Chain A
C-alpha cells in the first residue's frame, strides 16, 4: 500500500468570517468561501473536476446532497459528494478530496465545508438519535463524562481547563475571522454559568455559522498555480464506537479514534509527533484539547495538563496548539470547522498569521474528533 504523502497539494483556501451570520444563507457561505479559494489558487471554476461538501446538519437552505454545493456555485456536470461524519465532517471531506486526486481520477478538486447553526430555534445543536437510550444527552454533557473521569483519574482541576480557554481566546483576539475576538481571564472562565459539569460557558465552543474552502490538485501540477503550495503529508480517519458510554472496557480518559487516526497519519507522513510545528485540534470543550494533545502523541497520557500549565501550548511555546483561536474562539460551524483548520494550517505555513504566527512553521496538523470519540480525522500538511 502506497502512502498519500506528497501526492496532493493545497493550492488555494478561503474562509468566511465565522460568527452569527444572520445576513448570510448557507449558499452565501459556500459561495464566499469557494470564490476566495478560486482566487487564492488562481483557478477558474471550469477547471474543477470534482467537489466535496461537508455539512453536519442539513438545513432548509442547503447542506443535503451534492446540490448544496453545485447549485450555489453552478458547478454542474461533474461529481459532487456530500460528506457527513459528525464533527470530523470537514476534515473527512478534505480527506476524500485528497484521495480522489491521489487515485488519479481527478486533477483539481474543490472542498467546501458550510454550516448554518444559528438559523434555528433552541440552544446548542439538536439531539438526533435513539428516542429512549441515552435520552438527556447533550454535546457538552457527552464530553463532560470523559472530562470528569479524566479529572478524577489525573487529579486535574477546572483551573487547568480554564487556561485552555484563556489561551485560545488570546489567539482568537488576533484573528480577524474568529467568532470571538476578545481576550478573557481565568476568573471569567471559572465564574461563568455552568453548562454541564465540569464545563462552564467559557469551557464550551460556541454555535457558529461559517464556511471554508480548499482546492487540492495533483502535486506534480501544483506549481502551475502557485509556488508556495502546501503538500498533504497524511490524511487518516478512524472510527470507534458512537456509544462509548455503553462500553464496559472504555476508560474514558482519551479517544482511541484519535489515537488510531494519528498513528496512521504519522505513518503516511513518515513523521513523528515531535516533527509537528503546530496543531489545530478539536477543542470543542476545553478538556477535549487536553485529551487531544495526548491522543495525538505530543505527550504521554495525563501529561497535557502540565504542558498547559507551563504555557507550552501558546503560540510562542514549543507545542503551539490552536494558534487560530480554535473552535473555542474561532467558532465551530461543524461541517466547516475541519476545512477552516486546513485554511489556518495553510496560512501558518505561508507565514501569513501576524502576531499569532508560529515561528518556523513547516509542518502543521489538523484534527477533528466527533461523537465524542466516535470518529477522528487527522491531516498533516507541510511546506513544499
Chain B
C-alpha cells in the first residue's frame, strides 16, 4: 500500500483584496481576495515552510526523496529541491528532482513519488508544490492568481489516503505559458481553452481512472480538480456526471486564488479534511494534457488531516494596504533594496550546516548551546568538547529594535535577539508581522526567507515571524 501520510499547507500572510485591483485599473474583478507572497518570499521559501509542517510528523532522517514542483522557481538553472532538502536538514543521500513546465507538475511530482515508493525504490518522499506565478499588470490573471505551497509525505503507511490508480494524457495545447525570456504568464482565449482543452483532456483522464478501477460517478465522494477559474471545475464535474453541488471540492479561489502546481494537492487536502475512511477521491490537474489520480481515504482522514487546517491557514492573514504594495513586493514598481555583492560560494559551502541547516555548537563540557558555530566555548572557554547541534526553530524575543534606517524593501524592519527553545541565541530580521508584534517575550518561529539579492543571485537565510 502506498499513499499520503502527512500534508503541510502554507499560505503567505499578505492578502490583496480584488477590489483594490479593480479600483487601481477601473476594471471588474471577482469578489474576495488573493494570497500574496511577502516581499521576502518566493516559491522556494514557501516550499520550505510547507515542508517543515510535514516534518512535525516525520523525522527528517526517514526521508530518502524530495520532489519540488513549480512553474515559478526562482531559478531557471539550479535545483531547488536540494535547497529545500538542505533547509529541512534532510539527509544528503536522497533523491531530489524539480518538476516544472506547467501547473500539472504538482500532481505529476506526486504521482512520480507514489510510483517510486510503490516500486520499492524509495521509502518516504516529500513532495512540495509551490508557486508564486507572475501575472501581467492589469491582466485578468493578476486578480485570479494566488501564491502558496503544499507539501505531502508519500510512504507505505498511507495514513491519510491510499493510492488506487492514475491516468494521464499528453498533447500540445497552448493555453497558459511563459517563454524563456518572458516575465509573466500569458494566456490564450480562455473560453476556447477551457472547453476544448481543459474539459476535453481532464474529462478524459478522470473518466478513465474511474473506469479502470470500477468506480462509478456516484461512488466518487469528492472531485478535487484544479481549475483555471472559478467555473471550469463545476463544468468538468457535470461533464463526467459527478454532482458539482455535493461532490465537487469547493474552490478556494475566493479566499486564496489559483495557486498553480499546489492546487490539486490543496484540493485533495480539503477533500481529506471532510472525508471518512473508504471515501474515493479523484484528483485532477491540467496543462498540455491532463492527469487524474484516484485515492481512497484512510483512517487519518478527517478534520485534522492537514497541518494546519486549511481554515487556519486562510485565517492567518494581513491585508495589504494598497495595490501598489503588491507591485512593490513583486518588484514591478517601487524601489528595490540596494543589491549586495555576490556571496562567495566558498563561504556558502563552508557555512552550509550553520547558515542553511541551522546548526550551532553544543559544548560537551558545560552544555552551552551557541550560535554561530564556535571554536572555543563562550562559557567554559574549552575547545575540545564542541560538537554541532541542530537548533530549535521556536523561541522568545529577548530584546529587539524596530529599525527605520536598515536597508530593506519593507520599512520599518524589526531586528530581534531570540533565545531558542533547546538553547542558543540568534539575531535575525523579523517578517510577517507589524512593529507592535515585536516585543520582549513574544513567541517567534524561524522561517527561511530570501535575505537579499546581488550578483544575479538570491541569498536565503532565517528570519523570525510570530509563532
- A residues with CB within 8 A of B: 123-124, 127, 131-138, 140-141, 144-149, 152, 193-198, 241, 243, 245-249, 252
Interface core residue of B351, B355, B417 (most chain A CB under 10 Å): B417
Q: Which of B404, B423, B427 contacts A195 (CB 8 A)?
A: B404
**Is A132 within 8 A of B405, CB to CB?**
no
**Is A132 within 8 A of B429, CB to CB?**
no
A-side contacts of B351, CB under 8 Å? 132
Min Cβ gap B54→A in Å is: 26
**Is B403 within 8 A of A144, CB to CB?**
yes
**Is A132 within 8 A of B343, CB to CB?**
yes
B-side contacts of A249, CB under 8 Å? 368, 378-379
| With known contacts A132-B459, A247-B425, A124–B402 Cβ distance under 8 A | no
User: What are 6 A-to-B residue pairs whose CB atoms are below 8 Å?
Assistant: A132-B351, A132-B355, A152-B440, A196-B405, A247-B370, A248-B423
A249 CA to B425 CA, complexed, in Å: 9
**Chain A to chain B: the 3 pairs with minimum beta-carbon distance, closest first:** A144-B401, A245-B427, A149-B399
B400 interface hit (Cβ, 8 Å): yes
**Is B343 within 8 A of A131, CB to CB?**
yes
Cβ contacts B141-165/A at 8 Å (1 or 0 each): 0000000000000000000000000
B131 interface hit (Cβ, 8 Å): no
A133 CA to B429 CA, complexed, in Å: 10
Min Cβ gap B70→A in Å is: 24
Interface core residue of B408, B425, B440 (most chain A CB under 10 Å): B425
B323 interface hit (Cβ, 8 Å): no
Give residues 330-354 of B contacting A (CB, 8 Å).
340-341, 343, 347, 351
A247 CA to B424 CA, complexed, in Å: 8
Interface core residue of A137, A152, A195, A248 (most chain B CB under 10 Å): A248
**Is B372 within 8 A of A197, CB to CB?**
no
B140 interface hit (Cβ, 8 Å): no
Give residues 442-467 of B contacting A (CB, 8 Å).
451-452, 459, 461
A131 CA to B461 CA, complexed, in Å: 11
**Is B340 within 8 A of A131, CB to CB?**
yes
Cβ contacts B385-405/A at 8 Å (1 or 0 each): 000000000000011111111
**Is B400 within 8 A of A245, CB to CB?**
no
Q: A140-B401, A145-B399, A245-B417 are in contact. List 12 more A-B contacts (CB 8 A).
A: A132-B459, A134-B427, A136-B406, A138-B405, A145-B415, A148-B400, A149-B398, A197-B435, A243-B427, A248-B368, A248-B378, A249-B378
**Is B401 within 8 A of A145, CB to CB?**
yes
Cβ contacts B73-113/A at 8 Å (1 or 0 each): 00000000000000000000000000000000000000000
B-side contacts of A146, CB under 8 Å? 399
**Is A136 within 8 A of B429, CB to CB?**
yes
Min Cβ gap B249→A in Å is: 41
B68 interface hit (Cβ, 8 Å): no
A140 CA to B405 CA, complexed, in Å: 8
B413 interface hit (Cβ, 8 Å): yes
**Is A133 within 8 A of B403, CB to CB?**
no
| With known contacts A132-B355, A138-B403, A195-B405, A248–B429 Cβ distance under 8 A | no
**Is B401 within 8 A of A196, CB to CB?**
yes
B338, closest chain A residue (CB): A122
B67 interface hit (Cβ, 8 Å): no
A133 CA to B371 CA, complexed, in Å: 10
Q: Which of A123, A141, A149, A194 contacts B415 (CB 8 A)?
A: A141
A132 CA to B429 CA, complexed, in Å: 11
**Is B371 within 8 A of A141, CB to CB?**
no
| With known contacts A194-B412, A249-B379, A148–B405 Cβ distance under 8 A | no
Cβ contacts B428-446/A at 8 Å (1 or 0 each): 0100000100001000000
**Is A124 within 8 A of B405, CB to CB?**
yes
**Is A246 within 8 A of B371, CB to CB?**
yes
Min Cβ gap A200→B in Å is: 10
**Is B401 within 8 A of A136, CB to CB?**
no
A135 CA to B424 CA, complexed, in Å: 18
**Is A132 within 8 A of B461, CB to CB?**
yes
B42 interface hit (Cβ, 8 Å): no
**Is B417 within 8 A of A145, CB to CB?**
yes
A252 CA to B461 CA, complexed, in Å: 25
Q: Which of A124, A131, A145 contacts B400 (CB 8 A)?
A: A145
Q: Which of B372, B403, B461 contacts A140 (CB 8 A)?
A: B403
B426 interface hit (Cβ, 8 Å): yes
Q: Which of B368, B404, B426, B461 contacts A135 (CB 8 A)?
A: B461
B419 interface hit (Cβ, 8 Å): yes
B369 interface hit (Cβ, 8 Å): yes
Q: Which of B404, B425, B435, B459 contacts A248 (CB 8 A)?
A: B425
A-side contacts of B412, CB under 8 Å? 194, 196
A-side contacts of B379, CB under 8 Å? 249
A144, closest chain B residue (CB): B401
A-side contacts of B370, CB under 8 Å? 246-248
Interface core residue of A137, A145, A243 (most chain B CB under 10 Å): A145
B-side contacts of A123, CB under 8 Å? 405
Min Cβ gap A198→B in Å is: 8
Min Cβ gap B417→A in Å is: 5
A248, closest chain B residue (CB): B425
B-side contacts of A124, CB under 8 Å? 405
**Is B405 within 8 A of A141, CB to CB?**
yes
A246 CA to B355 CA, complexed, in Å: 14
Min Cβ gap A155→B in Å is: 12
Min Cβ gap B376→A in Å is: 11
Min Cβ gap B44→A in Å is: 16
A-side contacts of B425, CB under 8 Å? 245-248
A248 CA to B379 CA, complexed, in Å: 9
Min Cβ gap A177→B in Å is: 27
A135 CA to B400 CA, complexed, in Å: 14
A241, closest chain B residue (CB): B378
A336 CA to B330 CA, complexed, in Å: 44
**Is A252 within 8 A of B405, CB to CB?**
no
B-side contacts of A137, CB under 8 Å? 406, 415, 427
Interface core residue of B351, B403, B407, B423 (most chain A CB under 10 Å): B403
**Is A136 within 8 A of B408, CB to CB?**
yes
A-side contacts of B378, CB under 8 Å? 241, 247-249
Min Cβ gap A372→B in Å is: 12
Min Cβ gap A249→B in Å is: 7
A-side contacts of B341, CB under 8 Å? 131
| With known contacts A140-B405, A197-B402, A245-B427, A148–B440 Cβ distance under 8 A | yes
| With known contacts A134-B427, A245-B425, A248-B368, A196–B402 Cβ distance under 8 A | yes
A-side contacts of B440, CB under 8 Å? 148-149, 152
A131, closest chain B residue (CB): B343
Give residues 357-375 of B contacting A (CB, 8 Å).
368-372
A302 CA to B137 CA, complexed, in Å: 56
Min Cβ gap B368→A in Å is: 7
A-side contacts of B368, CB under 8 Å? 248-249
A193 CA to B407 CA, complexed, in Å: 17
A140 CA to B351 CA, complexed, in Å: 28
**Is A136 within 8 A of B372, CB to CB?**
no
A44 CA to B424 CA, complexed, in Å: 57
A347 CA to B378 CA, complexed, in Å: 42
Min Cβ gap A316→B in Å is: 34
B-side contacts of A133, CB under 8 Å? 355, 372, 427, 461
B-side contacts of A152, CB under 8 Å? 399, 440
A123 CA to B399 CA, complexed, in Å: 25
A141 CA to B378 CA, complexed, in Å: 24
